[in-house]
Structure 1
Amino acid sequence: MTRLSAWVTARVGSVSDEARLPNSLAEMAGSNSSVVTVGDLAAALNVSTRTVHRLAAQYIGLTPHALIRRRRLQEAAEHIRSEPEASLSSVAAAHGFSDQAHFARKFQRFLGQTPREYRGAPGHHS
């Protein structure tokens, strides 16, 4: 343990396992493509869905669903960059969106432009 870590631990105490969970929750929701639902997230963390919701509200400030949706939209943006010829409906379906219109609304809200505009933006061609 470094001097700083020892000093902080002496003053505020050790971090509890529950306090570490929000970091794991954010990491899992933000990087694990197999996590598609809040139930998946709860199972991966070995806690209840209620605990996932409580931890997200208390420590993160976004709902678990919003965290998962953000990752799916980031993956969809990467898909558009890496396969600009792919149809937007196939990109939407590949990333769990019920239809292209729903996907386009969420994409625009999150990234500030429609998927079509994003695909045509400079630097987003292969």
Structure 2
Amino acid sequence: MGKQPLKINAAEPESIKQILPKPLIIYSPSLLWNGFYFAYHRQLNLQVSQTCAPQHVIGIGTNNFQAKFNINGQWQRKYYESGDVGIFPANQITPAVEFEEELGFIVLCFEPEFILRAACESVSFDEVEILKQLQTHDPLIQQIGLSVKRELEISVFDSRLYVESAANMLAIHLLKRYSTQKIIIREYASGLSKQKLQQAIAYINDNLDQNLSLAQMSHVVHMSPHYFATLFKQSMGIAPHQYVTKCRVERAKHLLACDEEFSVIQVSQLVGFQSQSHFAKVFRKYVGVTPREFKKAL
């Protein structure tokens, strides 16, 4: 009887750390993004035995490297360029692998239910099976992985809505391109109805101080995250996460200008930022000056 694969679980960072000699550089809190997980690490001469995870796992190399996979008892060498992607479906065995140099990896993981929620109008559970890819070149996956990494390097907690939006886009891409069956994702071009748009905007404005999520907003109007995000952008001209950021900046300007003496730290919290430095950076991007400079000039 062959050796059993090592069980790992992206929802439990400690189980991932057991296969990595060096610690994770960036990783997401397990409950933050409703079934999507992110990690970034750099390793030297990494060796990993057979593994199996309950999530779909995507690996993106951030530099050129060589890898040897043990497939059916035979070692096979592959040459990867920076940005090449590996896709490993949930509950399937990932072969043992050895890396002979230093490498960086972005790891994106999805609970199977996350992918179903992303486009629940178009798919059912029985239809979804993702194809394993030991190596493929996919510019969209690479772009999404790098953009999420950049966002999390600024702030993990304040990036929830942006990351969830990117994850939903990636989930739809997986369904379209890597499903074992051809899945047609319904396309829409009419935007949200007036009533649903008003509901969504009201919910956003009433909860700007909260760590809003795409799942919450789409639930208010009884849609999947993908459907909601697509129609919202058609109606408003910008994506939900961009609209929320714009509203937060406008609310911050109002609070900084009002008669009550709110500190910059208080204002950042009142408009939903957990990191004051991230708040200052976003405010300056939209207004042209920092919150302190804006308040001082009044």
The yes-or-no answer on 1:82 pairing with 2:258 is yes
CA distance in 2, matches of 1:104, 1:26: 29
Look up the equivalent residue of 1:19 and give its one-letter code: S
Is the aligned partner of 1:32 residue 2:205?
yes
Aligned residues: 105
Give the structure-2-normalised TM-score.
Answer: 0.31
Tell me whether 1:48 sits opposite 2:224 in the alignment: yes
CA positional deviation for 1:98: 1.8
> Which position in structure 2 is the counterpart of 1:10?
none
Q: Is the 8 A contact 1:26 1:67 kept in 2?
A: no
Distance 1:32 1:103 in 2: 18
Q: Secondary structure at the match of 2:252?
A: helix
Q: Percent identity?
A: 26
Q: Shift in Å at residue 27 of structure 1? A: 7.1
Aligned-partner residue type, residue 61 of structure 1: G
Query: 2:271 aligned with 1:100, yes or no?
Result: no
Secondary structure of 1:98 counterpart: coil
Higher relative contact order (CA 8 A, sep 6+): 1
Aligned in 2, Cα 1:26/1:114: closer, same or farther, shift over 3 Å?
A: farther
- Specify the SS of the correspondent of 2:207: coil
1:120 corresponds to: 296
Unaligned residue ranges in structure 1 (runs of 5+): 1-17
Q: Is the 2:264–2:291 Cα contact (8 Å) retained in structure 1?
A: yes
| TM-score (norm: length of structure 1) | 0.67
Please report the RMSD computed on the Cα atoms of aligned residues, expressed in angstroms.
2.6
Q: How far off is 1:19 after superposition?
A: 2.9
Q: 1:115 to 1:103 in 2, by over 3 A?
A: same
Who wins on radius of gyration, i.e. which is larger?
2
2:199 & 2:247 partners in 1: Cα distance?
10
> 1:48 Cα shift?
1.3
Q: Distance in 1 between matches of 2:197 and 2:287?
A: 23
Do structure 1's residue 19 and structure 2's residue 195 form an aligned pair?
A: no
Q: Which moved more, 1:98-107 or 1:60-69?
A: 60-69
Question: Displacement of 1:92 after TM fit?
Answer: 0.7
Task: Name the SS of the counterpart of 2:280 in structure 1.
Answer: helix
Tell me, in whole angstroms, the C-alpha distance in 1 between the residues paired with 2:249 and 2:220.
Answer: 21
Q: 3-state DSSP class of the match of 2:250? A: helix
How far does residue 26 in structure 1 lie from its aligned partner after superposition? 7.1
Unaligned runs of 5+ in 2: 1-188
Comparing 48-57 and 107-116, the one that deviates more: 48-57
